[in-house]
């Protein structure tokens, strides 16, 4: 093997040699310099500590048996230093007992070279540990960069949450007034034609839904912060579903979309307001993507262990790569089909937090082009 040729592209590294025998320092220096390494040589442990403090080397080769301070003591001092503890140390010694090698590794050495030196062995071990150290340094730098990016993203998200909260509060007041005014107007609509009454009713519903979305954003922030206390009550799920479907009265009456759901009533215990918002979001997602005259199916079942519900649509479906993304806050999932883009916004993120607050779980079963099933499950302990 042409070792020098193999190492010709190795970047220069600063190597510190520590040995009280000048002949050994000379031999090692010549071996390393011939392979384009930078070499500093010192004859004692004390001088080695000074050399390291002046300029930390990339690698240290040190003898074990030295006067005043042996190699074990020197290595121990280096490894206890926060500044120099990561410098790789290779022990060199005529001592070849297993116990000597074990002690070398115990004190923090990364390798052991026996005297007399074999040139290729020295060069390959040096190259190996310099490469390992370089990779460790690169990994540490990348980890530091990632930690910095994570902190920046967390700061940005915190700022976004503050701005969102301010906007929500500013929108809530006029929307509440608009909803109240529509409610007041509806009391004087007896003489109005039925179509006008109907559109007024739809306007009220839309305003209430928009106000509900604003309130949902506030609830989302409370859920994320762990400040939401669930208000459990016993309620009939089918009646709640019919109330939610009232928000989609226009689509249903115009036969734009049909909805199929169980005919039998089902009583459960949960936070009714949260479950109502979850149903509204899941159905809203289904109505948004189900094609004209398509079918939405709502299924549920209750066992001794859990309550389970799913909403199935006939939309374009969601590729598996987006199954987790759609439940993220402001998560985006693009579906390159029928020129549609799916934006999960806050709705499904809210659903995930609301269901998890009940001790449950939520998920999606879907493939691109094959519709979508959004489901959730609440454990029996919750009800």
**Given this model, what pLDDT does residue 172 score?**
67
Topology of domain 231-382 in CATH is: Heat Shock Protein 90 (3.30.565)
pTM of the model: 0.50
CB neighbours (10 Å) of residue 24? 20
Q: Which conformational region is residue 66 in: left (phi greater than 0), alpha (psi within -120 to 50 degrees), or beta?
A: beta
For 3-117, the fitting CATH number among 3.20.10.10, 3.30.420.40, 3.30.870.10, 3.40.50.2300 is 3.40.50.2300
Q: What is the block-wise mean pLDDT of the chain (383 residues), using blocks of 10 residues? A: 47 88 93 92 95 95 91 94 93 83 91 89 93 90 90 78 66 70 70 73 75 71 74 92 87 81 92 91 90 92 91 89 79 45 67 91 87 91 54
Instruction: Provide the token pair at 320.
Output: 């598996």
**Given this model, what pLDDT does residue 190 score?**
67
Which run of H or E residues covers position 343? strand 340-345
CB neighbours (10 Å) of residue 124? 15
In whole angstroms, give the CA distance from residue 352 to residue 369. Answer: 24
**Given this model, what pLDDT does residue 334 score?**
44
**Given this model, what pLDDT does residue 150 score?**
87
């Amino acid at each position: 093997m042409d070792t020098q040729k193999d190492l010709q592209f190795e970047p220069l590294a600063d190597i510190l040699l520590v040995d009280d025998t000048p002949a050994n320092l000379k031999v090692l220096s010549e071996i390393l310099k011939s392979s384009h390494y930078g070499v500093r040589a010192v004859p004692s442990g004390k001088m080695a500590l000074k050399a390291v403090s002046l300029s930390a080397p990339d690698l240290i080769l040190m003898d074990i048996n030295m006067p005043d301070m042996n190699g074990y003591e020197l290595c121990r001092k280096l490894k206890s230093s926060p500044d120099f503890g990561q410098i790789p140390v290779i022990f060199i010694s005529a001592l070849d007992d297993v116990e000597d090698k074990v002690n070398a590794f115990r004190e923090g050495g990364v390798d052991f070279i026996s005297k007399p030196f074999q040139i290729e062995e020295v060069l390959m071990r040096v190259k190996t540990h310099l490469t390992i150290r370089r990779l460790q340094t690169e990994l540490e730098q990348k980890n530091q960069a990632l930690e910095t990016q994570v902190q920046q993203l967390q700061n940005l998200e915190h700022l976004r949450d503050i701005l969102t909260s301010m906007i929500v509060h500013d929108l809530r007041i006029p929307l509440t007034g608009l909803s109240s005014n529509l409610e007041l107007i509806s009391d004087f609509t007896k003489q109005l034609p039925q179509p006008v009454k109907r559109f007024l009713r739809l306007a009220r519903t839309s305003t209430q839904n928009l106000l509900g979305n604003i309130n949902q954003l506030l609830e989302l922030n409370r859920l994320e912060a762990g400040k939401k206390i669930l208000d459990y009550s016993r309620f009939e799920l089918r009646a709640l579903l019919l109330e939610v479907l009232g928000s989609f009265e226009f689509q249903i009456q115009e036969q734009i979309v049909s909805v199929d759901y169980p005919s039998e009533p089902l009583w459960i215990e949960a936070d009714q307001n949260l479950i109502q918002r979850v149903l509204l979001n899941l159905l809203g997602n289904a109505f948004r993507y189900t094609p004209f005259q398509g079918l939405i199916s709502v299924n549920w079942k209750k066992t001794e262990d859990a309550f389970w519900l799913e909403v199935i649509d006939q939309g374009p479906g969601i590729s598996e790569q987006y199954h987790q993304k759609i439940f993220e806050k402001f998560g985006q999932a693009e579906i390159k089909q029928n020129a549609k883009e799916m934006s999960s916004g806050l709705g499904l993120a809210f659903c995930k937090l609301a269901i998890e607050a009940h001790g449950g779980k939520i998920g999606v079963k879907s493939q691109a082009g094959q519709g979508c099933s959004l489901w959730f499950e609440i454990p029996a302990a919750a009800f």
